[in-house]
């Protein structure tokens, strides 16, 4: 029997995500944000939306075909209703993006950076581009005309094309030219005083007449097709594939051939071309979008790189180097310092280097028996892999659980898995039907006193690149109890046991949700008996219906609840008798808020967990995730300070209202607090203090030696 849900305090997951991406776009519209950062936010928004269509919209399309009567448990919408509302919400975002791009382009032009149209060019520049087209572009183009000899082609996912309406002897035909991926997107004019450029697709569209001399070109347009990318690697149709790595390679290749779900036109469309492609691609009017902003904005990073240093400095965020952790002494063994006391790294304000150094030390330490680690995403040039390989080559047992199903990072993980295997590491590829998303590293050592452990548990990936732009937490502890739980965890994963029991860790899919629900219930019981209580939860997304309902019940009992949810949030706060004691905020800023912190209780009784898991059903039920308690009193105080600053943010933080809209927290006369800038400045001060202490030590040594 279907369960009946109360929808009065919940909202649709997909529409909530679109509101998050709208907050990303809003950053691009802020005049207070440096001009090149605004350009980057436009690209991030566009890339986010592309992935949303490929993954989420693709999945809903599939659901509408298979389960057309399915009702979402948060919004009660059917798949078809969701698709209609998504289209209605996305169209204004396209218009907003176009306005912001036009404004940013105007500001860039004032400082000598101009994206030109052909109308902006001089006669000599047009002549230069025609020659450039004939010499550099024309030889690599592959035009086709659709007809009996050339049936309608497969248009690849997210590849720009020039589409043409052709006429020959009163007959209409469709022409298509793929924009080559290997050519430079920006073609710069020969001007020493400014950066004036035109995009490759505009040049091809302008001069492509030469390719169709026997036709009359009635119309031209630039277009892009987005296809579904939501392939399930564990689908039963692949069950006969014995080589899992090869299986994943097939998945990657298939992505480019899945169902079209969006058709975009750049600058101007054409009614005939639009109707023709809708029929051939089997998509509706709701799936067609027009934009005066380039459809692929990845070129903006190359553009910023070409800007003179002095100009780039003015137009970008102030550069910074992640500081050394406040509790670590430079030049001393990381291993020895962790054995003395737990350490907590706070990215990107602090460097990931101490963890990398821990791996390097362990790879060469004669007391190291084994290193076991779960890997979801890695940097393109990963030192972590280097030291894992060195450990294996030095005779240590190295076990790597490499999740090959990290969406859009599959190829990178496949390549690294091969490198690790060749070095002698034992590589596992996850668990059937469950992605391993946890961030756990267990280093087991042995000395004359017996076995001891160093365990690292984090909220983010072992990725040296993203650790500089994502906010994450990484606990490194010598706790025997945590080490023993981590040992059980790796043993259970190795034999596909998802029902293992743990004394301290919360592990999905068995105990994480149950543990979180118990802590919420305990705070509810406190409220009902008039004891001090409270809940703080920081995460990327909140969609799990059981967690949402438990929070509503706790709110009704009087528990003050603060939810800091960067992205999707399916609970609506402030609803009388349902969520009136719940406050929801979202921080979108220079760094991607990625850390997960779950705190229950108040003052000295507060229990704090850091975790790899969001409160989404996919995390709590269909992934292997870990939440780890933080016991060290010094680190707990530090986390409490972090939570306090996050709550106080009134610059980047937006408040969710009961109707599902977000508003600024800023009030005139308040002291401005930008949490990310606060943490950045605190790290800088700490680094400066460490440098001064180091300098003072050297000065003392020099004076001593002179004596």
Q: For 470-510, what is each residue's pLDDT tens digit?
A: 999 999 999 999 999 999 999 999 999 999 999 999 999 99
Distances (CA, A) of 408 to 54, 221, 229, 412, 413: 11, 29, 9, 9, 10
- Which pLDDT does position 190 carry in this prediction? 83
Q: Which two tokens stand for residue 199?
A: 């995009």
CA–CA distance, 240 with 351 (Å, rounded to integer): 44
Q: Assign 406 a pLDDT band (cuts: 50, 70, 90).
A: low
**Whether the predicted pLDDT of 328 surpasses 60:** yes
- Which pLDDT does position 237 carry in this prediction? 33
CA–CA distance, 79 with 65 (Å, rounded to integer): 9
Tokens 């001090």 -> residue: 532
Question: Which residues lie closer than 8 Å to 582 by C-beta, 6 or more apart?
Answer: 551, 552, 555, 561, 563, 571, 573, 574
**Whether the predicted pLDDT of 387 surpasses 50:** yes
Distances (CA, A) of 548 to 3, 435, 571, 578, 616: 15, 23, 6, 11, 10
- Which pLDDT does position 701 carry in this prediction? 61
Residue 25 CB neighbour total at 10 angstroms: 21
Q: Which residues pair with 435 in a beta bridge?
A: 623
Long-range contacts of 64-73 (CB under 8 A, 24+ apart): 72/12, 72/13, 73/5, 73/545
**Active-site residue flag, 4:** no
Q: Which two tokens stand for residue 702?
A: 């020099």
CA–CA distance, 186 with 188 (Å, rounded to integer): 6
- Which pLDDT does position 248 carry in this prediction? 54
Report whether the peptide linkage leading into residue 682 is cis, meaning its omega lies within 30 degrees of zero. no
Q: Assign 32 a pLDDT band (cuts: 50, 70, 90).
A: very high
Q: Which residues pair with 583 in a beta bridge?
A: 562
User: The sheet that has 186-188: what strands, in order across it?
Assistant: 113-115, 195-199, 186-188
- Is 349:322 a contact under the CB 8 Å cutoff? yes
| Catalytic residue (choose from 437, 504, 519, 594) | 437
Long-range contacts of 91-97 (CB under 8 A, 24+ apart): 91/289, 93/18, 93/21, 93/22, 93/25, 93/49, 94/289, 94/290, 94/291, 96/22, 96/25, 96/29, 97/25, 97/28, 97/42, 97/45, 97/46, 97/291, 97/293
Of the listed ranges 118-127, 297-306, 403-412, 631-640, the one predicted with least confidence: 403-412
Quick: pLDDT tens for 415-428.
889 999 999 999 99
């Amino acid at each position: 029997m279907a369960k009946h849900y109360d929808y009065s305090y919940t909202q649709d997951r997909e529409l909530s995500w679109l509101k998050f991406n709208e907050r990303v776009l809003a950053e691009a519209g802020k005049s207070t944000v440096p001009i090149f950062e605004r350009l980057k936010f436009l690209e991030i928004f566009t890339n986010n939306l592309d992935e949303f269509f490929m993954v989420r919209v693709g999945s809903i399309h599939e659901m509408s075909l298979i389960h057309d009567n399915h009702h979402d448990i948060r919004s009660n919408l059917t798949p078809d209703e969701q698709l209609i509302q998504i289209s209605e919400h996305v169209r204004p975002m396209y218009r907003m993006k176009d306005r912001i791009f036009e404004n940013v382009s105007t500001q860039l032009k004032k400082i000598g950076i101009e994206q030109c149209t052909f109308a902006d060019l001089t006669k000599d520049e047009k002549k230069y581009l025609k020659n450039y087209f004939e010499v550099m572009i024309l030889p690599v183009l592959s035009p086709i005309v659709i007809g009996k000899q050339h049936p309608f082609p497969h248009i690849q996912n997210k590849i720009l094309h020039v589409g043409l309406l052709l006429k020959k002897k009163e007959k209409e035909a469709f022409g298509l030219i793929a924009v080559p991926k290997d050519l430079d997107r920006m073609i710069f004019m020969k001007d020493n005083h400014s950066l004036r450029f035109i995009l490759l697709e505009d040049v091809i569209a302008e001069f492509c007449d030469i390719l169709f001399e026997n036709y009359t070109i009635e119309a031209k347009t630039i277009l892009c097709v987005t296809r579904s990318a939501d392939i399930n690697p564990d689908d039963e149709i692949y069950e006969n594939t014995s080589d899992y790595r090869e299986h994943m390679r097939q998945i990657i290749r298939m992505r480019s051939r899945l169902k079209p779900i969006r058709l975009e036109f750049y600058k101007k469309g054409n009614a005939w071309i639009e109707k023709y492609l809708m029929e051939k691609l089997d998509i509706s009017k709701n799936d067609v979008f027009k934009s005066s902003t380039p459809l692929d904005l990845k070129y903006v990073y190359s553009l910023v790189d070409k800007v003179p240093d002095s100009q780039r400095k003015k137009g970008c965020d102030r550069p910074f180097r992640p500081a050394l952790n406040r509790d670590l002494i430079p030049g001393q063994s990381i291993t020895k310092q962790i054995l003395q006391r737990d350490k907590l790294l706070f990215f990107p304000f602090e460097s990931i280097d101490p963890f990398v150094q821990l791996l390097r030390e362990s790879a060469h330490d004669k007391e190291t028996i084994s290193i076991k680690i779960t890997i979801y995403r890695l940097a393109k040039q990963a030192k972590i892999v280097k030291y894992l390989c060195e450990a294996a080559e030095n005779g240590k047992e190295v076990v790597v659980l490499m999740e090959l199903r990290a969406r859009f990072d599959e190829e990178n993980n496949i390549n690294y898995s091969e490198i690790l295997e060749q070095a002698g590491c034992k590589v596992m590829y996850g668990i059937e039907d469950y992605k391993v998303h946890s961030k756990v590293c267990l280093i087991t050592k042995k000395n004359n006193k017996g076995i001891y452990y160093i365990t690292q548990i984090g909220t983010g990936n072992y990725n040296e690149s993203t650790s500089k732009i994502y906010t994450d937490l990484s606990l490194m502890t010598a706790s025997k109890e945590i080490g023993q739980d981590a040992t059980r965890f790796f043993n259970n994963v190795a034999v596909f046991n998802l029902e293992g029991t743990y004394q301290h860790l919360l592990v999905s899919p068995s105990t994480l949700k149950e543990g979180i629900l118990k802590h919420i219930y305990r705070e509810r019981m406190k409220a009902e008996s008039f004891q001090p209580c409270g809940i703080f939860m920081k995460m990327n997304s909140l969609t799990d219906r059981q967690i949402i309902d438990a929070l509503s019940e706790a709110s009704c009992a009087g528990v003050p609840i603060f939810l800091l949810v960067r992205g999707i949030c399916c609970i609506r706060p402030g609803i009388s008798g349902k969520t009136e004691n719940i406050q929801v905020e979202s921080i979108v800023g220079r760094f991607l808020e990625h850390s997960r912190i779950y705190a229950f209780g108040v003052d000295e009784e507060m229990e704090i967990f850091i975790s790899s898991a969001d409160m989404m059903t996919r995390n709590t039920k269909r992934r292997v995730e870990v939440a780890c308690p933080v016991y060290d009193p010094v680190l707990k105080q530090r986390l409490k300070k972090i939570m306090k600053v996050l709550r106080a943010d009134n610059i980047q933080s937006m408040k969710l209202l009961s109707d599902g809209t977000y508003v600024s927290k800023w009030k005139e006369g308040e002291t401005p607090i930008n949490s990310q800038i606060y943490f950045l400045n605190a790290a800088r001060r700490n680094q400066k203090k460490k440098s001064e202490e180091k300098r003072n030590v050297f000065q003392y040594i020099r004076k001593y030696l002179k004596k």
